Amino acid sequence: MQLPADPEILIVGPGSMGLMHAALLARAGRHVTLLDHRPERAAALSRVGIRVRGAAGDFRVSIPVVSDASDAASPDLVVFLVKAHSTSAALAHARDAFRPDTVLLTLQNGLGNYELLVEFAGSDRVLGGTTSSGAYRPGDGEVFVAAIGDMRIGGSEVVLPVADAICALFSDAGLPAQTSDDLQSLLWHKATVNAGINPLGALAGVRNGVLLEVPALRLLLRGLVEEAVDVASRAGVRLDGDMVAAVEEVACRTAENRCSMLQDLEASRPTEIRQISGHIAAVGLQQGGSGWLNETVHKLVEAAECRWHGAETEQT
């Protein structure tokens, strides 16, 4: 399997990460279309374009934005950047754009997204990956890039050569990327970082750095991370190095950030707690080990969501 030299790319999701990746690829001269599930917002984005500020520079680009997948140019590559709880809905929404040889890539948070895409399309044309870039959306059509980090992409041996071409595309666009031959370790490493930081930041209502300053929060962070590492090991996934130190380093480096889960709670949006802490806990309990601490914060965040019963799930 090969990717054309100048592929058609479809980005699914007009949230901060979707806007950032679409805009940087477009600035690099790539053919990019953005898929939004809201027709009114899609029309507005098509009309005014995307404004980018921050670590990626200050610029504006025009990108075709569609709400009907059948209106998208036949894509060679589809990149999923919706919230993890919207993966199934986003896949159903985007499927009319797919060809039999379209490559699907998830760069989402949480666990289970890659498996959902594989169930739909097969492992021979699905890739998974992680990114440490950070961005937020001041408003529709605007994205502030807080930091540009590394991207890692992997998949089955059949599709892994395509990952090299995709990494080159992203790297040329200013998003450093490289392939990995151990996708599950990549995904579990990112999920463990998120499991240690996001639920505690959301429940305590604090910036990431406070998790290291308050002894009770730091102790809980350690417990959540150690439990996640144990669950990963029982599931046959090896996480090398001192993961507690790694997560604390991320919290230190992003000390002024308010994690996405906290932002979601404050904005009355569904969080990704089920695909992070909930998934880790479920695997741990299935494997006969511990998952109770991750399950506890899972249920606490779900309880915090109860204050806005009936809120609409967003694919952003």
Q: Which residues are catalytic?
A: 190
Q: Which long-range contacts (CB under 8 A, 24 or more apart) does 222-225 make?
A: 223/293, 224/195, 224/196, 224/199, 224/200, 224/277, 224/293, 224/294, 224/297, 225/192, 225/195, 225/196
Distance (Å, whole) CA 290 – CA 81: 31
Tokens 């950030």 belong to residue: 257
The edge-to-edge listing of strands for the beta sheet with 8-12 is: 65-66, 31-35, 8-12, 77-80, 103-106, 126-131, 151-155, 177-179
> Angle 33-36-38 (CA atoms, 0-180°, nearest 5)?
145
Distance (Å, whole) CA 1 – CA 261: 37
Q: How many CB atoms lie within 10 A of CB 195?
A: 31
Q: Which residues contact residue 253 at a Cβ distance below 8 angstroms, ignoring those fewer than 6 apart?
A: none
